[in-house]
Amino acid sequence: MKAFLFKRVQTAENNPLECIEMPVPVPAPNEVLVKVNVCGICHTDLHIVEGDIHPPGLPIIPGHQIVGTVEECGVNAKRFRKGDRVGIAWLRFTCGKCRFCLSGKENLCSNALFTGYHRHGGFAEYTTVHEDFAYSIPRDFPDIEAAPLLCAGIIGYRALRLSEIKDGQKLGFYGFGASAHIAIQIAIYRGCEVYVFTRGSRHQDLAKELGATWAGKPGDPPPCKLDSAIIFAPAGELVPLALKNLEKGGIVALAGIHMSEIPAMNYTDCLFDERTLRSVTASTRRDGEELLQIAPLIPIKTEVQCFRFEEANRALQLLKAGRINGAAVLKIK
């Protein structure tokens, strides 16, 4: 099979992904072999290849927003049949036995494995996954439109949960990429007013098209105090700004897997009055299942820019430059 392999840390401009021929993987017991149709391209993929976060071992095939069809079922794998359409997300496996797994917080499992990080991902023609960590894809969503739901969508959904935003309240978004453009649709469906802070005019325009009440630059003062906020951009300097714009008792949720250094903050301006700052760490299968259930009801529309398989490096470069409006998706077949 053809696959893009990442062998060593380097900048996206240096074309870090190498297209090679590899054997088609064989599904282990309880696993399914998936023929990959499309795979979303995520900022986490960019952070991995540029060394912001370090996989435990290289080489690795990146990609964790996978939509494809079941090609073969391993021994004891009975949940899916050949030809079923499935999705594979970032969370690939958890132990199921630790106190986090048993309390509904499997995203915090110390033995968790992640797709495109611990095990090969979807920048390839085939991949495997344990059947319990594959998702059924709603019929309403074509492959290309479904792919961004599997990370951008799931993380955005979890960030909304952890922001504790209530229906009808005022919510701030800092950064407006793949995850934010899905999360805004959920928030507006719930009657929230969304205030978007983003540098690019194209992203501001997209936010307004999707129903944002207001859109401006990160340093611009919003027209009112916000009940909660989500920081999607991996920029630590946004944290004090977001906290200062909160109403008393508000929450800022950090949605990224990587964040640059957070500058020193004034306690009175940023955290006093019971304001809360919290991170979002991966997601649970419950997050993914709930998102895929509500996505057709809204219905969520994913803004997608498609790339041919051989354009994987170019897609990473455009993502780094902030030139993807919505989500980037790699077409494998």
**pLDDT higher than threshold 90 for residue 333:** no
User: What is the reported pLDDT for 246?
Assistant: 98
> Do 12 and 141 fall within a single domain?
yes
Average pLDDT over residues 48-72: 96
- Looking at residue 156, its pLDDT comes to 97
Asked if residue 161 and residue 53 are part of one domain, the reply reads no
pLDDT, tens digit, 9 for 90 and up, residues 238-270: 999 999 999 999 999 999 999 999 999 999 999
Examine the domain organization and report whether 176 and 320 are in the same domain: no
- Per-residue pLDDT at 328: 97
With contact defined as beta carbons under 8 Å apart, do 5 and 17 qualify?
Answer: yes
* Terminal CA-CA length for the chain: 11
The verdict on 143 and 182 lying in the same domain is no
Q: Are 187 and 123 part of one and the same domain?
A: no
The domain in which residue 236 lies consists of 154-279
State how many domains the chain has. 2
How many other C-beta atoms are found inside a 10 Å radius of the C-beta of residue 262?
14
Q: What is the CATH number of the domain that holds 269?
A: 3.40.50.720
Residues 229, 287 within the same domain? no
- Give the list of residues 6+ apart from residue 174 with CB closer than 8 angstroms, or none: 197, 198, 218, 229, 230, 231, 232, 233, 235, 238, 241, 242
pLDDT digits (tens, 9 = 90+) for 146-193: 999 999 999 999 999 999 999 999 999 999 999 999 999 999 999 999
Please give the pLDDT value at position 115.
98
Distance CA 43, CA 159 (A): 16
pLDDT at residue 140, rounded to an integer: 87
Q: Token pair for residue 150?
A: 């599997």
Look at residue 2 in the predicted model and tell me its pLDDT: 98
pLDDT confidence band for 127 (50 / 70 / 90) = very high
Angle at alpha carbon of residue 37, lines to 34 and 41, rounded to 5°: 105
Percent of the chain with pLDDT over 90: 98
